[in-house]
Amino acid sequence: AKNGGRNQCRMFVQEMQKGLQKRLIITERLKAAVAREEIVPFYQPQYSLVDGGLVGCEALARWADAELGFVGPDIFIPIAEQTGLVTVLGEQLLKRACLDALTWSTPDRGLGCPMVCVNISPIQFERDDIAKMVRRVLDDTGLPAARLEIEVTESVLIADTQKAAATLLELSDMGVTIALDDFGTGYSSLSYLRSLPLNRLKIDRTFVRDMHERPAQQIVNAIIQLGANLGLCVIAEGVETEEQRQMLAKMGCQDGQGYLFSAAVPARDVHRLIEAAVPQ
């Protein structure tokens, strides 16, 4: 039994070393991928649950490495944060997203022009002057500020509330809109919802997933009511079934996003989503 314990311990150490090795390899590949600008945004459409219009597209980072294959953002964004690569990567992705969004206007067909929604990592938000970076990218690309939405999570607001508030205000003064991502999963004090220049609440997909059960359904309903009372737009993430869509629409949720409508698609496919959507 003693020996067994020691063997287990050795196996554990080996596993850990393997894990670390894998991480080191990913980190090295990530550095190269960022240098070559190989990580690009795909876009997941967001639809009005009221009239079916295409209201926005969320940029989601995609990385297909020649050696590692497809690596998901849940793996590489945290590594990019820990290694500081997120600063360069974040600006790269924002710039790409703005340039892509510039090609989405279809004035000839009278269709609405979807907004582009870009995630900003809490680490990046804390460390860098995000307002300055966004200003620079908007100036460089020529995208009107009103076409850009920045998604931040609640953790951003807890770390340094004063600084976060100042940054959000700067962005909002530029005309950029701000969405609070994964809403309901953080430790929000509801008072800041009133004091910050927010435009949108994104209901976390775990609540939408469990909406067939009363507790989650009540949380979703409470968030929608909260949004209505504060004059914020509410969007549900992770809408996968027709039943969920109908429940959300009935509860008064304005917008939805999820596999029911579409997964994230490459930039070149967005125009197809625009043409398939009904005029707003």
In the set 53, 73, 186, 197, which binds ligand C2E (CB under 6 A)?
73
Q: How many CA atoms lie less than 13 Å away from 49 in the CB half-sphere?
A: 24
For Ca ion, the binding residues in 219-248 under the rule CB under 5 A are: 237
Q: Is 72 left (phi over 0), alpha (psi -120 to 50) or beta?
A: beta
Question: What is the smallest separation between the CB atom of 28 and Ca ion, expressed in angstroms?
Answer: 26
182 binds ligand C2E (CB under 6 A): yes
Q: How many residues bind ligand C2E (CB under 6 A)?
A: 22
Query: Beta strand pairing status for 54-65 and 115-119?
Result: parallel
Binding window for Ca ion (CB under 5 A); candidates: 24-32, 82-90, 148-156, 255-263: 148-156
Binding window for ligand C2E (CB under 6 A); candidates: 30-38, 185-193, 237-245, 267-275: 237-245
For ligand C2E, the binding residues in 147-176 under the rule CB under 6 A are: none
Distance CA 127, CA 121 (A): 10
262 binds ligand C2E (CB under 6 A): no
In the set 149, 181, 227, 255, which binds ligand C2E (CB under 6 A)?
181
> b or e along 153-169 (b: 16 or more beta carbons within 10 Å of the residue's beta carbon)?
bbbbbeeeeeebeebbe
Q: Report the sign of the C-alpha dihedral through residues 183, 184, 190, 192, in that order.
A: negative
Distance CA 220, CA 37 (A): 38
182 binds Ca ion (CB under 5 A): yes
Distance CA 43, CA 98 (A): 12
Query: Beta strand pairing status for 40-48 and 69-71?
Result: unpaired
Binding window for ligand C2E (CB under 6 A); candidates: 24-32, 116-124, 168-176, 221-229: 116-124
254 binds ligand C2E (CB under 6 A): no
Q: Which is nearer to Ca ion, 80 or 111 (CB)?
A: 80
Residue 71 pairs in a beta bridge with 63
For Ca ion, the binding residues in 85-104 under the rule CB under 5 A are: none
215 binds ligand C2E (CB under 6 A): no
Distance CA 141, CA 185 (A): 34
In this structure, what token pair is assigned to residue 180? 């609070």
61 binds ligand C2E (CB under 6 A): yes
Residues in contact with Ca ion by the rule CB under 5 A: 119, 151, 181-182, 237
Residues in contact with ligand C2E by the rule CB under 6 A: 44, 59-61, 72-74, 77, 93, 119-121, 181-182, 205, 237-240, 258-259, 264
